[in-house]
């Protein structure tokens, strides 16, 4: 299973490295989102610093959506889905592989976003261990849920419009948990934040487990 996962993740990441879609399109997109927030909220009055945790996670959520769409767009050409199905790889392994590749990509984007909010919003990055753990657990949850919903929407004529509707309400706990934990870390009240990390961890474990269980039924259809 883990060998299959590495195989699939390696394939996705190799395509990413060669096509540079993440570098040339998705990364700049997440920076555009950060700029838009500055336009929407007056940057002079400290709104941006106050709202940094929420704005950061909205930017992450939108980026995750694009990353998931990209991850399945890779399979839609040259009948990649059929190839995956016929490859005989363990479905749980395929799930872990696709989620793993998305995890690497999304983490890279989040590093960019953290640097972005540090420089552009003037957010101070106190309580970095909490920030790091929050980011890791929340990202695992996001890519696990995103990979399942991406597979659910894949192959449908309405996939581009259906995916956000399915995916975004489901990750409400990640949005709330991530924002609160970040808020706690930036305020220096980390005890509160670790509790939210627990919730994020629960979400991540639940969706990784569900994905490994259910991916088989999603791979078997065309």
Partner 1 sequence: MTTTVQPAATAPRATRSAAPTSTGSRFTRVLGVVALAMLCLQLALALVISPPDVLQGDAVRLFYLHVPMAITGGYLGVGLLAIGSIGYLWKRTAFWDLLAASAAELALLFTGLTLVTGSLWGRPVWGTYWEWDPRLTLTAVLFLLLIGYRAMRSATLDPHLRARRSAVIGLLAAADVPLIRLSVDWWRGLHQTATINPLDTALDGLMLFTFFFSMVTFAVIFVWLLVHRFRLAWLDEQVAAHSLEDAIAERRAEAEAAGSPGPTGSAGATGSAGASAASGPGSAVATAPAAGTTHDGGAS
Q: With binding defined as CB under 8 A, does residue 148 bind partner 1?
A: yes
Give the DSSP letter string of 57-113: HHHHHHHHHHHHHHHHHHHHGGGHHHHHHHTT--HHHHHHHHHHHHHHHHHHHHHHH
Query: Would you say 148 and 215 are in contact if contact means Cβ atoms under 8 Å apart?
Result: yes
Spatial contact of 184 and 127, defined as CB atoms under 8 Å apart: yes
* Residue 170 C-beta: closest distance to partner 1, Å: 5
CB of residue 62 vs partner 1: minimum separation in angstroms? 17
Of 112, 162, 190, 194, which one interacts with partner 1 (CB under 8 A)?
162
**203 sits near partner 1 (criterion: CB under 8 A):** yes
Binding segment for partner 1 (CB under 8 A), chosen from 27-35, 47-55, 84-92, 213-221, is 213-221
Residue pair 122/49 in contact (Cβ under 8 Å)? The answer is yes
Q: Does 95 interact with partner 1 (rule: CB under 8 A)? A: no
Contacts with partner 1 by CB under 8 A lie at 145, 148, 152, 156-158, 162, 165-166, 169-170, 172-173, 176-177, 180, 192, 195-196, 199, 202-203, 206, 210, 214, 217-218, 220-222
């Amino acid at each position: 299973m883990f060998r299959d996962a590495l195989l699939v993740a390696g394939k996705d990441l190799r395509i990413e490295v060669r096509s540079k879609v993440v570098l040339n399109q998705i990364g700049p997109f997440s920076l555009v989102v950060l700029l838009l927030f500055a336009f929407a909220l007056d940057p002079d009055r400290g709104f941006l610093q106050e709202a940094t945790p929420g704005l950061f996670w909205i930017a992450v959520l939108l980026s995750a959506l694009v990353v998931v769409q990209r991850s399945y767009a890779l399979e839609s050409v040259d009948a990649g889905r059929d190839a995956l199905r016929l490859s005989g790889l363990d479905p749980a392994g395929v799930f872990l592989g696709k989620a793993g590749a998305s995890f690497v990509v999304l983490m890279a984007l989040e590093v960019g976003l953290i640097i972005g909010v540090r420089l552009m919003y003037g957010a101070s990055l106190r309580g970095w261990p909490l920030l790091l753990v929050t980011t890791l657990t929340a990202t695992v949850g996001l890519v696990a849920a995103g990979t399942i919903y991406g597979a659910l929407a894949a192959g449908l004529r309405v996939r581009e419009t259906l995916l956000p509707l399915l995916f975004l309400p489901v990750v409400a706990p990640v949005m709330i948990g991530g924002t609160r934990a970040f808020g706690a870390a930036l305020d220096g009240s980390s005890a509160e934040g670790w509790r939210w990390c627990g919730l994020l961890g629960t979400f991540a474990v639940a969706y990784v487990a569900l994905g490994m269980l259910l991916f088989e039924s999603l791979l078997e259809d065309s």
